Every structure is written in structure tokens, then in C-alpha cells.
Structure 1
Amino acid sequence: MPLLEDHIAVVTGAASGIGRAIAAGYAREGAQVALVDVNAKAAEEAAQEIREAGGRAASFALDVTKREDCIAIAKRVAAQLGPVSILVNNAGINRRNPFTAEPTSVFKDWDDIIAINLNGTFNVTHAFLDALRATKGRIVNIGSIQSFMHVRTPNSPAYTTSKHGVLGFTRALAAELGKYGVRVNAIGPGLIETPLNAQVRANDPDLIKIFMDHTPLGRAGKPEDIVGPAIFLASDLSSYVTGSIVMADGGYRTI
């Protein structure tokens, strides 16, 4: 029996990378998936791929920084698909300006990254809260190795701050929502080859070497490497797991 049969799952940032892979993985496990992304065209293309493979999927355009739009999408998903029982907060961005860079860029990085990575996670979760409580649902937040550390590469401090915040938010909600039967966990990816970092990977081999020298498995991850942990945390296999983060970083934090 598929692990997620009879579940309705919402995945943000589902048009590409990790979110797209998780959405496809959930569909293979029997879930009906709502692919949510600011890029409506790419989200629909990803949903179409799932449908062509025999899965059930619909796409929805959403800017997670807009709280009222998140509420509206929650209502649309409920009306079109039914009660949501799985939420994956994956939408996120990163930039690599240091704190000592030109102030205008530093200020913009902070505002944009916090708005999407942290406030967006809050906005979407709150919008679907009633449904998740009613279904005794599962929330999976995408953290990072930077939920624990600021990696030794050029990186915006706003990103590290946002991912620390996502882990704190995960733990706070796990403590509060457990009495409703809602489980809240996170995944902590390391360097994953996605469109988000494609330019850096292509143009900065020294940066990639820093990551690889620090990764016992000796390779960058693929989006599919996050799918297994995401299925585990959304399924009954993890029925007694909440407030945790599953690291999928190739062992980065061991060195």
C-alpha cells in the first residue's frame, strides 16, 4: 500500500528543485498534491508531469510573502482538492552578499530572504492551520545545515538567520500543536544541486570544493535525496517523531 494514500499534500516552491522532487515523490506514494509556487507556469508543468505519470496533482500560483494570498490559496485548495493533511514549507531563496557589502544590497537581502524563507513559512502554515488540526496533519519544513551554522563560504547572513528561524519555528510548533495530533518536523539539506545554486556551481569551483572537502560522502546531493526523508516525515512511519530535524547533508556536520 502506498505510504501516503488518502493524503492531500501542499508543497510550496514546487516548481523546481527540492520542492518539485518532493511533490513527485508524494504523488508516487499515493498523495494528491497541490504544487504551489510564485512561478505559475513552471508549477503547472510540474503538475502535468505528475499527472502524465499517473499521479494526482494541481498547481496554484502564490507569493508566500503575501499573507492574504496564502489564506485565499488555502480556501481554494480546500474547495478544489479537499482537507489538507500534509504541508511542506519549501519555498526559499538565497544570496551570497556578505554583511559588509554595499548597504543597499545588504538591506534588500535581509528583507527579501526573511520575507520568503521565514515569514513565508509562517504565512503558509497559519493559512492551513485549521485544516491541519482537523486532519491531525504533518508539517515538514525545509531547513538547512545553516539551521545550525554559518558555512565557510560566501553567504548572506540573512539566509543563516532565516534557517535558524525555520528550525526554531519547527520546534515551537511541535510543542504547541502536538496536543492536536499535528506533527511538525524539518529536513536539513546540505549542498543540493538545484536551479537555486546552478550559477554558483558553474562559476565557483573553489566554493564547491569547500563543500566537498567537508562532506564525507564526497558528492553534492540531488533533489531526489530529500524525497525519502520527506516521505518518512509525512507518513505514519514517523508517527512518534515531532520537533526533529532529519539531516540530509552527506555528513557535512560530522567534520
Structure 2
Amino acid sequence: MPLLQNHIAVVTGAASGIGRAIAFGYAKEGAQVVLLDTNETAAEEAAQEIRRSGGQAESMVLDVTRREDCTAIAKRVAAQVGPASILVNNAGINRRNAFTGDAEAVVRDWQDIMAVNLNGTFNVTHAFLGSLRATKGRIVNIGSVQSFMHVRTPSSPAYTASKHGVLGFTRALAAELGKHGVRVNAIGPGLIETPLNASVRANDPELMKIFMDHTPLGRAGKPEDIVGPAIFLASDLSAYVTGSIVMADGGYRTV
């Protein structure tokens, strides 16, 4: 029997990268998947591909920074698809600008990154909380190696702070929601080859060297490398796991 049969899984930032890979992985394991993204066309194309391969998928437009929209989407999913039993908070952005750089850019980066990465995780989780409690569901938040440390570059303090916040939020919710049967965990990717970092990978060889020098497996990750941990944390295989983070960083934190 597929590991996620009879589950309804909601994935944010599902039009590309890690979110898209998780949505496909969940569908293959029998879940009915709802792909949420600001990119309506790409999200629907991904949903169509899942359906063509025999899976169940719907796509809906969502900007996770808009709390009222998150509430509306949660109601729409419940009415049109059913009560969500899995939520993956994957939507995120990053900008690698130094804190000592242009003042306006620093403030803008902080506000934008926090709005998506941290406030967005809160907004979506709060909106779907009723369904998740009713189904004794599972929440999977996408953290980072930067949930623990600042990567060895003088940049992205907002991203580091936001991902520390995601891990703290994960642990706080696990402590509170355990009595309701809801498990809350996170995944900590290292450098994963996604559209989010395509420009950096192409144009910043020094940064790439820093990552590779501290990655024992000697390669950047692929979105598919996050799918296994995401299935594990959403399935009954992890029935006694909550408040944890599964690192998928190629060993980055060991060096």
C-alpha cells in the first residue's frame, strides 16, 4: 500500500524546485496533492503532469504573505478537496546582500524574506490548523542548514534569521500540538539546485566553492534528494517523531 494513501497534502511553493519535487513524490505515494504557488501557470502545469502520470492533484494560487488569502485557500481546499492531513511549508525566498551594504536594500530584504519565509509559514499553518487537528495531521516545514548556522559568507542575515525562526516555530508547535495528535517536523536542506539559487550557482564560483568544500558528499543536492525525508516525515514511518529536523545537506554541518 502506498505510504500516503488517503491523505490530502498541501504544498506551498509547489510550482518549482523542492516544493514541486515533494508534490510529485507525495502523489506517487498515493496522496491527493494541492499545489499552492504565486505562479499560477507553473503550478497548474505541475498538477497536470501529476494527473497525466495517474496521480491526483489540484493547483491554486496563493501568496503566503497575505494572511486573509491563506484563510480563504484553506476554506477552499476543505470545500473542494477535503480536510488537509499533510502540510508542507516550502515557499521561500533568499537574497544574498550584505547587512553592511545599501541601507534601503538591507531593510527591503529583511522585510520581504521574513514576510515569506517566517510569516508565510505562520500564515499557512494557522489557516490550515483546523483541518490538521481534525485529521491528526502532519506538518513539514522546510528549514535549512542556516537554521543552525550562518553559511561562510558575509551575506544573507535575513535568510539565516528566518530559517532559525522556522526551526523554533517547528519545535514550539510540536510541543503544543502533540496532545492533538499533530506531528510537526522540519527538513534542513543544504545547497539544492533550484531556480531560487540558479543565478548564484552560475555567477558566484567563490560561494559554490565554499559550499562544496564543506559538503562531504562533494555535490550539490537535487530537489529529489528532499523527497525521501519529506515522505518519511509525512507518513506513519515517523509516527513517533515530532519536533525534529531531518538534515539533507550532504554532511555540510560535519565539516
- Is TM > 0.5 for Structure 1 vs Structure 2? yes
Task: Write the distance in 1 (CA, Å) between the matches of 2:219 and 2:156.
Answer: 23
Task: Write the distance in 1 (CA, Å) between the matches of 2:127 and 2:47.
Answer: 22
Task: Write the distance in 1 (CA, Å) between the matches of 2:96 and 2:212.
Answer: 18
In the TM superposition, structure 1's runs of 4+ consecutive aligned residues that sit over 3 Å from their partners are: none
| Correspondence for 2:165 | 165
| Correspondence for 2:36 | 36
Shift of 1:63: 0.4
Shift of 1:206: 1.6
Task: Write the distance in 1 (CA, Å) between the matches of 2:208 and 2:46.
Answer: 28
The alignment of Structure 1 onto Structure 2 pairs a total of residues equal to: 255
Q: Extract unaligned runs of 5+ from structure 2.
A: none
| Correspondence for 1:128 | 128
Q: CA-to-partner distance for each residue in 1:39-68, whole Å, 9 max, x for gaps?
A: 111110111110111100000100000000
- Paired-residue identity, %: 84
Determine whether 1:106 maps to 2:106: yes
Q: CA-to-partner distance for each residue in 1:113-156, whole Å, 9 max, x for gaps?
A: 00000000000000000000000000000000000000012431
Q: Match of 2:127, as an amino acid?
A: A
- Secondary structure of the structure 1 residue equivalent to 2:216: coil
Task: Write the distance in 1 (CA, Å) between the matches of 2:116 and 2:95.
Answer: 12
Shift of 1:207: 1.1
Q: Extract unaligned runs of 5+ from structure 1.
A: none
Determine whether 1:86 maps to 2:86: yes
- Secondary structure of the structure 2 residue equivalent to 1:22: helix
Task: Write the distance in 2 (CA, Å) between the matches of 1:240 and 1:31.
Answer: 21
Determine whether 1:20 maps to 2:25: no
| Correspondence for 1:249 | 249
- Secondary structure of the structure 2 residue equivalent to 1:128: helix
- Secondary structure of the structure 1 residue equivalent to 2:14: coil
Determine whether 1:222 maps to 2:222: yes
Q: Please, what is the CA RMSD of the aligned residues?
A: 0.5
Q: Match of 1:139, as an amino acid?
A: I
Task: Write the distance in 1 (CA, Å) between the matches of 2:153 and 2:3.
Answer: 38
Q: Match of 2:169, as an amino acid?
A: F
Shift of 1:204: 1.2
TM-score (norm 1): 0.99
Note the 1:65-214 alignment, pairs <5 A: 65-214=65-214
Which 10-residue stretch deviates more, 199-208 or 178-187?
A: 199-208
Which 10-residue stretch deviates more, 178-187 or 155-164?
A: 155-164
Task: Write the distance in 2 (CA, Å) between the matches of 1:42 and 1:238.
Answer: 31
